[in-house]
Chains A and B, each alone.
Chain A
Amino acid sequence: MTTTAQRVNDAIREAAEASLPQSQKIDFDAVLTSDVGLDSVQIMDLVMEIEDRLDLSVPVEVLAEVQTLGQLSQHLQQLIEGKR
């Protein structure tokens, strides 16, 4: 049985591969703006891909606190756990 963390991280990886075709390797510790070079619109697009895959909505307020995919994963896991 897959854990919430696995499910979330798989969704993030798939979404990143789909919406960031140029990126070589998905790094969960890279800062999305300065390290990966994404602007706010691109981050929003990426999050929408992830939302579709996990069938949940991420409040904008959460996004403001997120700098890396790892942090996003933590927030998403909390959102999912909170739903139960």
Chain B
Amino acid sequence: MSLFDKFRPLAEARAGLGDLGVAPGVAPIATPIEDIHSAAEGVIDGRQVILAGTNNYLGLTLDPDVVQAASGALHHYGTGTTGSRMANGSYLAHQALEGEIAAAFGWPSAMVFSTGYQANLATISTLAGKDDYLLLDGDSHASIYDGAKLGNAQTLVFRHNDPENLDRRLARLGEDAGRALIVVEGLYSMLGDQPPLAEFIEVKKRHGAWLLLDEAHSFGVFGERGLGLAEHQGLLADIDFVVGTFSKSLGSIGGFCVSPHAELELLRLAARPYIFTASPSPAVIEGTRMALRKLLAGQQLRERLWSNINRLYGALNELGYRLGSDKPGPVVAIILPDRETALAHWKGLLEAGIYANLMVPPATPKGFNLLRISLSAAHTPAHIDHIIESFGRLRRAA
């Protein structure tokens, strides 16, 4: 009898991935990245690889201005704030970043959190209280489910990307739908698919409910100014809360919530994941501020990213691969028939000098075995050529 007995199924699943002899010394889970040469290239297992499994959508992690801003703050303010935003952890820089995020959306309030995970944890657990309801998309990220668990609202799950299913659940709530917070994502990170946002908004408005849109993977990627899917579709006016992360397009770590409701500020007094943790380090905040400026003015970065997206989606469709999303986006999920084929693809790509993500059940929706490519504005046409050629070889060998 041991506290660790319950982890045995996980340990067995993990061992199973190693037993297949995939790239000896290099595991497809928590793969060690030995060095970083650029936003799109690094070293794994002693081999120079194209990084095609990161979330560095705009390639800003090594942007000289961003690095300089972070470095300057590191040297000026030191390595950390050592305290909560409620105590000694609110520097002018934290407040400035919040003001800049709010201004970008044209809304009165924004809050910054120490991670994107905590942004969802804090907003979802606090906005929906004891007598309220949370309506979550079935394919929601773990941070959304965990936010529901941390809070006291009654949580209902509707079918993934199914406004009609949401409609039925809200209808059952009757007048209580006015105390329901719907949570959807701008881009789902496993399959790379997007929500039918306009339809969800129509349902939300009809029932008088509230809508939180998690733009973690869509911020920086969609919209003229990179504000996300809602901006791209002209629907920002109908959203109540946008949650986002700094650890993808903005290239650092942290998260935010921004809202047209000025009362969002009240969450500072009530959200436990905001209060009971240290605030982001000044270097992270100043790097993020510079990256945000680049993101908002990043039309050329987005053009490069979308050129890469459209090329790879087109080529993989031509090769006959089944993809997780009909609509192209920065996450390209290739659905493979079984775990062995997915592992063989992961290994084949690594041998060809391409690092991608392997995703297998139970982490994936519908039990899919996925190989996931994340694209970046930092990928060159030659990188994309090489990725396409490598998939061509794997397809012919299969």
Q: Do A44 and B155 touch (CB < 8 A)?
A: no
A44 to B366, CA, bound (A): 10
Q: How large is the interface on A (under 10, 10 to 19, 20 to 34, 35 or more residues)?
A: 10 to 19
Which of A10-18, A51-59, A70-78 has 4 or more CB atoms under 8 Å from chain B?
A51-59
Number of interface residues, chain B, beta carbon within 8 A = 19
Contact of A40 among B136, B154, B169, B362 (CB under 8 A): B362
Say if the beta carbon of B348 comes within 8 Å of chain A: no
Q: Do A60 and B367 touch (CB < 8 A)?
A: no
Question: What is the chain B residue whose CB lies nearest that of A58?
Answer: B156
Say if the beta carbon of A42 comes within 8 Å of chain B: yes
Question: What is the chain A residue whose CB lies nearest that of B145?
Answer: A60
Say if the beta carbon of B229 comes within 8 Å of chain A: no
Q: Do A57 and B367 touch (CB < 8 A)?
A: no
A58 to B172, CA, bound (A): 11
A57 to B168, CA, bound (A): 9
Say if the beta carbon of B83 comes within 8 Å of chain A: no
Q: How would you classify the secondary structure of chain A's contact residues: helix, strand, loop or mixed?
A: helix
Quick one: which of A21-72 are within 8 Å of B by CB? 39-42, 44-45, 48, 52, 55-61
Measured CB to CB, the closest approach of chain B to A23, in angstroms, equals 15
A40 to B367, CA, bound (A): 10
Interface string of B234-254 (1 = CB under 8 A from A): 000000000000000000000
Interface string of B343-377 (1 = CB under 8 A from A): 00000000000000000011001110000000000
Measured CB to CB, the closest approach of chain B to A50, in angstroms, equals 13
Given contacts A44-B157, A60-B156, is CB(A39)–CB(B361) below 8 Å?
Answer: yes
Quick one: which of B139-190 are within 8 Å of A by CB? 145, 148, 154-157, 159, 165, 168-169, 172-173
- A41, A52, A57, A59, most chain B CB atoms within 10 A: A57
- B155, B159, B169, most chain A CB atoms within 10 A: B155
Question: What is the chain B residue whose CB lies nearest that of A64?
Answer: B149
6 nearest A-B pairs in the assembled complex, by CB-CB distance: A60-B155, A39-B362, A57-B156, A59-B154, A57-B169, A57-B172
11 pairs, A vs B, C-beta closer than 8 Å: A39-B362, A41-B361, A42-B367, A55-B168, A57-B156, A57-B172, A59-B155, A59-B156, A60-B145, A60-B157, A61-B154
Identify 17 new A-B residue pairs, CB closer than 8 A, beyond the known A39-B367, A48-B157, A57-B169: A40-B362, A41-B362, A41-B365, A42-B367, A48-B138, A48-B159, A48-B165, A55-B168, A57-B172, A58-B156, A59-B154, A59-B155, A59-B156, A60-B136, A60-B155, A60-B156, A61-B155
The residues of B with any CB-CB pair to A shorter than 8 Å are 136, 138, 145, 148, 154-157, 159, 165, 168-169, 172-173, 361-362, 365-367
